[in-house]
Chains A and B, each alone.
Chain A
Amino acid sequence: MGGDNGVGPPPLKRLKLSIPTAKAVPGDSLVTILAPPMAKDMPADDGVTIGSRGQIRKLEFVRIITQALSSLGYKHAATALEEESGVPLQLPVVSDFRREILAGLWDESITTLHKITWLDDETVKLASFLILQQKFLEFLDSGDTSSALKTLRSEISLLGINTHRVHELASFVMCPSREALSERADWRGANPDSRVCLLEQLQNLLPPALMIPENRLEHLVEQALEVQRKSCLFHNSSEHLLSLYTDHRCSRDQIPTRTLQVLEAHENEVWFLQFSHNGRYLASASKDLTAILWEVVEDGLVKLRHILRGHQKAVSFVAWSPDDTMLLTCGNEENVKLWDTSTGECRHTFNKPNSCFTSCAWFPDGNRFVSGGGDKSIYMWDLEGQELESWKGARMPRINDLAITVDGSHMVSICGDKDIRIYNLEEKSERVIEEEKPITSLSVSKDGRYLLVNLVSQEIHLWDIAVSSKLLFKYRGHRQGRYVIRSCFGGSDHAFIVSGSEDSQVYIWHRQNGELLEVLPGHSGTVNSVSWNPVNPHMFASASDDHTIRIWGLTTNIDQKNPNVGAANGIDHLENGGTRELLENLKPFY
């Protein structure tokens, strides 16, 4: 039972061991724990309840309001409420006790403690221990070792409890300096903060009806907001504060479901796309041997910036550097190219004969990356073209997809058909998750905790890979055969999962409950890849075999921001100046 902070072991733990009855059963009114002589100071709980469901005790409600008024600084209002309602916030003896603790009047506070007559002996001892411990530590802190020792010997020791802690306190006497003391004893110093902390711990010891925990009302309200936020299905906003005036519920139109733009610059199937980390650029990769850099300008419009030519074969993958200044592209060939995103020039070509790189991933320092592919190896490179490390061998099957977690600690890859290999780069150890069916692509969440994989069995699996691997959800509804279809996390707080599909539609699910929220038609070919803007929760892009990229946004955006786009006249103005009928801009039918 040693202490792990400056003022004693967590009281709750000790309570369980020694005093089963020290805490009042929640809900007991003051009257049931007060001895009769004291009862006349507090009004009886007449059982009156308020609230539409009759679940709130009026007496308790008034008291926590008084507490809230007082802590907000409205002392007069608090006193007035006490008078008008006839319900004092706390008994005078408790007020005295609090005051004495905060003022450091230790001996007086212990005397007052004993005056609270309906506490049992164990509680009184535990509370006295905490108070005397504070007294002891404050003496030591001010250098008065002999007073500290005297307190320890003649007061603390005599309580006869917590021997281990008593010995520890004795050893603190040996600390040569205040810094050593604060380090060893986890002591925050003899300042008002530590006394407030002491008060909190004492509060936990005493029955809550006697001394209500601080900020109780705020705590209850925050709990309610949390529940509302969690139950909001379509919650997708960058606003962090919820209003107290109405229950929070986002409507369906918080999810982007309208095509805002169709980008037609590619001349063949578009296989992959990804927004930059800062959400200002988009990179797409196509079978037409190019990758294209797009810029998101004001109003959410996307304009072409650079066409990156140089690959000899189709480009199937792009990866933005952590600071978005560089882009890696790989295709079905033995080259990986590094581009400068502001000029569009190719800075370096990394070559490994007989390999066929399918994917690559940056390290968080932006100076190294890994690439993997069909020759069953993963290579680590620096930006000058040096090969730093490689993972090869008979045990390495073909790598289909590769990712590095944001903190740089793990490298995740799809090996062979059904295995996900999570390699710990620091410890050089690995875990393998075996899937049921072949996997085509993977995506790691921003916090590095979750993994999304698309399976050929037309399911998307969400795994929790934080400590051990746990399958959390399966998302279904889309169509996927043998092609590589990619999905990703999206929305604020990664609330959604969005994926492409072989039926030309985009599918959006709610991450937490697996519910399919939207199915968005629009493309006329398999949707290969989707990317949600990491900075704008109301924007995502999709890439399709129909040679186009679609930018999706909120329904409400259309009329205000881009009067040219909309179902009003069925005509859409395209990036390269053409127009096209947009009859398929119908509302989703789910």
Chain B
Amino acid sequence: MDLDPQEYDNLKVSDSEVLKIVLSYLVHNCFKETAETFIACSGMKRTADCSVDIDKRKPIYNHVLEGNVLKAIELTNELAVDLLSTNQDVHFDLLTLHFVELVRAKDCAGALEFAQKELRPFGKQDCYREKLQDCIALLAYEEPEKSPMFFLLSMDHRQSVADSLNCAILAHAHLPSYTSMERLLQHTTVVRQRLNQELGKDGPPVFTLKAYLKG
């Protein structure tokens, strides 16, 4: 960082705050064993059901990552009955992901049937129409990974769907749907950006995590 260390050496950050930040990250991402070890090692007070909550969330997350979308949906519905109906976006993403998996498996008839049954209602809403069209268009290709919509088959896409489901579940349980670490980083970035805009060369440079980590 280019800031003069003297500027912030005097600021004290409490230990317990830092512990909470780390824990929130671990819990959010379902690192159950790590979280438990961390709690034990750091002497933090245990909050009651964080492990239970992780136990429920982790399988759902993993199922999505592996492409077992229907199983993930089933478990989600067990966990929180109305979650998917109130989170249309997440529901849509999950269903289209399943469709994409069927296409990947070359099960065209199955994919088409699934689309006609489950995806058609979404087609009536403008906000989903374009995404839906992109998904259906995959049917036109014998090698969908070579089509313009290849990103739908990528791991990154699965990850982002899994993440958004995870956040929705956390929000549903009235837990924060973002980690404090994430927020802090976002915060820093925005603040530095503003300063940069206002002060120009005289101010601090724009914040990037990569640059920061390098030293």
Contact = CB atoms under 8 A, between A and B. Distances in A.
Interface of A: 145-146, 149, 152-154, 156-158, 163, 166-171, 173-174, 176
A171 B139 CA distance: 9
Given A149-B108, A170-B136, A174-B136, 18 more contacts: A145-B112, A146-B108, A149-B139, A152-B139, A157-B140, A166-B137, A167-B137, A167-B140, A168-B133, A169-B140, A170-B137, A170-B138, A170-B140, A171-B136, A173-B136, A174-B112, A174-B120, A176-B120
Contacts of A145: 112
22 contacts: A146-B108, A149-B139, A152-B139, A153-B139, A154-B142, A157-B141, A163-B148, A167-B133, A167-B134, A167-B136, A167-B137, A170-B136, A170-B138, A170-B139, A171-B133, A171-B137, A173-B112, A173-B136, A174-B115, A174-B119, A174-B120, A176-B120
Q: Chain B at the A interface: mostly helix, strand, loop or mixed?
A: helix
A18 B119 CA distance: 36
A500 to B, nearest CB: 59
Contacts of A176: 116, 120
Contacts of A146: 108-109
B200 interface: no
Interface centre among B116, B133, B139, B140 (most CB of A within 10 A): B140
Give the residue among A168, A171, A176 with the most B Cβ atoms within 10 A.
Answer: A171
Contact of A174 (B116, B134, B140): B116
Interface string B117-134: 001100100000000111
Contacts of A163: 148
Contacts of B141: 153, 157
A173 B115 CA distance: 10
Q: Is the interface of A mostly helix, strand, loop or mixed?
A: helix
Interface of B: 108-109, 112, 115-116, 119-120, 123, 132-134, 136-142, 148
Contact of A153 (B115, B120, B134, B140): B140
A174 B129 CA distance: 12
A156 B109 contact: no
Contacts of B119: 174
Contact of B142 (A153, A166, A170): A153
Given A145-B112, A149-B112, A167-B133, A173 B148 contact: no
Nearest to A146: B109
B60 to A, nearest CB: 29
A183 to B, nearest CB: 14
Contacts of B133: 167-168, 171
A152 B109 contact: no
Contacts of A169: 140
A170 B132 CA distance: 11
Contacts of A156: 140
Contacts of B140: 152-153, 156-157, 166-167, 169-170
Nearest to A166: B140
Contacts of A157: 140-142
A376 B71 CA distance: 77
Nearest to B116: A174
A171 to B, nearest CB: 5
Contacts of A149: 108, 112, 139
The 9 closest A-B pairs by CB, nearest first: A167-B137, A170-B140, A170-B137, A153-B142, A157-B140, A170-B139, A152-B140, A166-B140, A171-B136
Contacts of A166: 137, 140
Given A152-B140, A157-B142, A166-B137, A174 B123 contact: yes
A157 B142 CA distance: 8
A167 B148 CA distance: 10
Nearest to B141: A157
A4 B15 CA distance: 66
| Most B CB within 10 A of own CB, among A145, A153, A167, A173 | A167
A132 B133 CA distance: 21
Nearest to A145: B112
Contacts of B112: 145, 149, 173-174
B156 to A, nearest CB: 22
A171 B142 CA distance: 16
Contacts of A153: 108, 139-142
A163 B136 CA distance: 13
Nearest to B149: A167
A158 B146 CA distance: 12
Contacts of A158: 142
A176 B115 CA distance: 11
Contacts of B136: 167, 170-171, 173-174
Contacts of A152: 139-140
A357 B115 CA distance: 68
Nearest to B138: A170
A22 to B, nearest CB: 25
Nearest to A172: B136
Contacts of B132: 171
A146 B111 CA distance: 12
Contacts of B139: 149, 152-153, 170, 173
A149 B134 CA distance: 16
B138 to A, nearest CB: 8
Nearest to A152: B140
Contacts of B120: 174, 176
Contacts of A154: 142
B192 to A, nearest CB: 41
A168 B136 CA distance: 9
Contacts of B134: 167
B133 to A, nearest CB: 5
